Amino acid sequence: MPLPFVKMHAHGDDFIIIDRRGQHDPITAKIARQLGNRHTGIGFNQLAVILDCDDAAARIKFWNPNGTPLETCGSATRGVADRLMCEAGSASIVLRTDRGLLTCTRAPGRRVSVNMGAPSLDWASVPLVHAVDTRVLPIDGDPAACSMGNPHCTFFVDDIEAIDVAAVGPALEVHPLFPAKTNVHFVQVLNRNHIRLRIWERGGGVPLGSGSCCCGAVVNGIRRGLLDDTVDVQCDGGTVTVQWDGQGGVVLTGSVEPIMQGTTCSV
């Protein structure tokens, strides 16, 4: 069955969008893997499927390229919001994800903001296997942890260029403290409003950027007293802005850009 798609990116974090409103959802783990293969498929960091929804403009389901479902994706949520706001002629929209109802708005400079909701900070909701202080985990390097609907583990380092993310990321992703595995971040604090971030993404490898990882890294930096409430996050693929007042929702703002559109072969 051929499937029309749109491919976009947000600071290098590439994703494809398949709109299935008014139609059945054909995506399975096998199909997500086929589409996500960068050699024999389209290739993406995330797949977003737009579905009908009773209490929001649309519902979004996310997939990783390895065929595992994904609870949330800040980049693809903003991409879907960009397209649906254009379609509706609106400057704001509410979308439903497994994270809940997320409000997205237009921002100056062709950017889109999404309120990703409040982070989960207690050990059980990250989740971790036992009770610990999530600000300082009992792992070499003393990382911090939180959840943005998916788990995040943040290491603060003096020289980010000295970290071989692809070499150390896989073992940290499956560290026994994280029963659902984890995204892994390495953060160099440039000043209280600017960080450099590199990522090992759960189920995805080393991306050029990740919206939810940017949020998780900033939340953990604020909790450690290293950052102010508005932070520019410089990823390998570009920069986004994350705002968090320490209590409410985390707001992610950045550009989203179309790359291509087309139709897959039968899947």
**What CATH number is attached to the domain comprising 68?**
3.10.310.10
Question: Position of tokens 């065929």?
Answer: 67
pLDDT reading at 204 higher than 90: no
Instruction: State the Cα–Cα distance between residues 60 and 47, nearest whole angstrom.
Output: 10
Give the other-Cβ count within 10 Å of 100's Cβ: 14
Q: 57: which DSSP letter?
A: S
Q: Which two tokens stand for residue 139?
A: 């792992």
> Is the Cβ–Cβ distance between 35 and 44 less than 8 Å?
yes
Q: Does residue 78 sit in the same domain as residue 149?
A: no
Q: What pLDDT, on the 0 to 100 scale, is given for residue 109?
A: 83
Mean pLDDT of 238-260: 96
Q: What pLDDT, on the 0 to 100 scale, is given for residue 123?
A: 98
Instruction: State the Cα–Cα distance between residues 64 and 203, nearest whole angstrom.
Output: 6
Mean pLDDT of 65-84: 94
Q: Does residue 107 sit in the same domain as residue 136?
A: no
In which band, very low, low, confident or very high, does the pLDDT at 110 lie, cut at 50, 70 and 90? confident
Q: Does residue 130 sit in the same domain as residue 111?
A: no
Instruction: State the Cα–Cα distance between residues 112 and 211, nearest whole angstrom.
Output: 12
Closest CA to 151 of 131, 176, 109, 121: 121
pLDDT reading at 180 higher than 70: yes
Provide the residue type at 37 as one letter.
N
Domain tally for the chain?
A: 2
> Is the Cβ–Cβ distance between 7 and 44 less than 8 Å?
yes
Q: Does residue 42 sit in the same domain as residue 132?
A: no
In which band, very low, low, confident or very high, does the pLDDT at 267 lie, cut at 50, 70 and 90? low
Question: Position of tokens 């919001």?
Answer: 81
Instruction: State the Cα–Cα distance between residues 252 and 152, nearest whole angstrom.
Output: 16
Q: Does residue 31 sit in the same domain as residue 88?
A: yes
> Is the Cβ–Cβ distance between 71 and 97 less than 8 Å?
yes
**Domain region containing 85:** 4-116+256-263
pTM for this model (two decimals): 0.94
Q: Does residue 136 sit in the same domain as residue 190?
A: yes
For 117-170, what is each residue's pLDDT tens digit? 999 999 999 999 999 999 999 999 999 999 999 999 999 999 999 999 999 999
